Amino acid sequence: MSKERPAKPRALVTGGAGFLGSHLCEWLLGEGYRVICMDNLRTGSLENIAHLREDANFEYVHHDVTLHIEVEGELDEIYHFASPASPKDFERIPIPILKVGALGTYNSLGLAKSKCARLMLASSSEVYGDPLVHPQPEEYWGNVNQVGIRGVYDEAKRYAESITMAYHRHHRVDTRIVRIFNTYGPRMRPDDGRVVPNFVSQALAGEPLTVYGDGSQTRSVQYVDDLIEGTFRLMHSEETRPVNIGNPVEYPVREIARMILSLSGSRSEIVHEPLPQDDPKQRCPDITRAREILNWEPRVPAREGLRTTLDWFAKQPHRPQVPAPHG
């Protein structure tokens, strides 16, 4: 008598049509999962998951996670990635950001509790605010202006971490928390407002690259594939404390601009504008915990990841092609 094959694990990805969520859905399918992608398309796009929708193991559900979540059948894992994350969204849709961090996380945890599923919360380096400690270890409590423009996102993520740990301690829900540092790659929105898509879009359009302040503020940027691998490793570890997943190699913002100009061959100039309120001066992860517990560290060099990202942006409809290198 032949043995029955074990059923493929089934995972829910909230925000699955977004930049990070779509890459996560793709990764999980590659790992043999059945995947439910849930999104209300406020900032996500069906174009991000178009290549997945013919896969028999992929299902798209249009739903706002700030409302009660119903999923029929068994569920093994929940990846709560729903949340607008663009700095431009902080002023445009502040209330939905707070609601998805609070109500969306509450509903996702309630579903995890009812299904006995393991839940991964996608938190953010924004919980550290404009940090006074460098680099930032997970034990650092942060320096956040809760009434500033960025506070809606910072505090949404801080609250999401608090309620996740409350469900973990009080209801014994099996939870994981990934603190995501600046991540870039294909499928980012061109109007995202973060450093890489800003510079890439401007370079391809032949427009001046906008550097805020003098450009000496630093960012540690990681390619999306590294993030997704680290997130997956964390989900399958026994670590219930928050874990930083980011690239500890720092670049001044002006150096990122120059790198993108060099890779694109753009003749654009760099222009300077005033630094936005509460814009972090330094943001760099201490990834000791990820290295020791997950045996993880980023592998994609910045120039390689930026080249891939530039190529993707250049191929999008209505997007200028990469100018021919000069000189």
Tell me the catalytic residues: 153
Spatial distance between the Cα atoms of 15 and 37, rounded to a whole number of angstroms: 7
Helix, strand, coil content of the chain in percent (nearest 5): 40, 20, 45
Those residues with Cβ within 8 angstroms of residue 322's Cβ, 6 or more apart along the chain or in another chain: 204, 264, 265, 266, 310, 311, 314
Using the structure block, give the residue that is written with the tokens 């579903």: 111
Nearest CA-CA partner of 178 in 227, 122, 222, 226: 122
Residue type, 255: E
Supply angle C-alpha 51, 37, 187, rounded to 5.
Answer: 50
3-class secondary structure, 305: helix
Using the structure block, give the residue that is written with the tokens 């956040």: 144
β-strand pairing of 250-252 with 218-220: antiparallel
Q: Per this entry, what is the length of the chain?
A: 327
